[in-house]
Chain A
Amino acid sequence: TQLLEQSPQFLSIQEGENLTVYCNSSSVFSSLQWYRQEPGEGPVLLVTVVTGGEVKKLKRLTFQFGDARKDSSLHITAAQPGDTGLYLCAGVETSGSRLTFGEGTQLTVNP
């Protein structure tokens, strides 16, 4: 099983601050997905990155896939309380179709 390590595990910031969440592995993934999960709900897809070096923007969220397709980052600009949630990265293995999740980053944005 290919492992994904996320950091930080917990992050508490004030509204308006910027933050970056990291997702790292020693393995290569064919694609990497970022999900956001709120309490009592299942994860919801934010973005999928496929190409090494790819950068995708979703409003105030910027996602980057590492050149070697082993790591990814999520940057949030001017965080808002509505951004609070558990952010999960998940990689599709190159050898099959299994989607492996990281342990998640619990983000709290205080007003």
Chain B
Amino acid sequence: EAGVAQSPRYKIIEKRQSVAFWCNPISGHATLYWYQQILGQGPKLLIQFQNNGVVDDSQLPKDRFSAERLKGVDSTLKIQPAKLEDSAVYLCASSSNPRNSPLHFGNGTRLTVT
């Protein structure tokens, strides 16, 4: 089966600019996650979708981050405006059943904010 697809692979922007990331999960996976992974740390959950509804966005900095999954398939994560501390790898993952199935991760988008 095809894996989780993410784009772009790399992105460099200046602070206060906007950026968007795209994710296409594994076909049929109802649950989609966005994680932020700062260098040297474990992934931190930003938002979890079940189909096109938000299950958990408690750790999403909503003043600058937004995400949508309008048709319950692919998803976009946006940062507006970006700050230096947003430099990280943004990982998208999907799962068929979050309670007893593993997460399948994409290779991430590496964001550098200068």
Contact = CB atoms under 8 A, between A and B. Distances in A.
Nearest to B101: A48
Contacts, number: 61
A42 B108 contact: yes
A92 B98 contact: yes
A4 to B, nearest CB: 8
A92 B108 CA distance: 22
A98 B56 contact: yes
B112 to A, nearest CB: 14
B25 interface: no
How large, as a class, is the contact surface on chain A? Answer: 20 to 34
B102 A101 contact: no
Interface string B83-114: 00000000101000011101101111000000
Interface string A78-111: 0000000000101010001111111110100000
A33 interface: yes
What is the interface of chain B mostly: helix, strand, loop, or mixed? loop
Contacts of B58: 1
Contacts of B99: 30-31, 92, 97
B98 A97 contact: yes
Contacts of B41: 103-104
9 contacts: A1-B58, A30-B99, A43-B91, A43-B103, A43-B105, A97-B48, A97-B55, A97-B99, A98-B45
Contacts of B108: 40-42
A11 interface: no
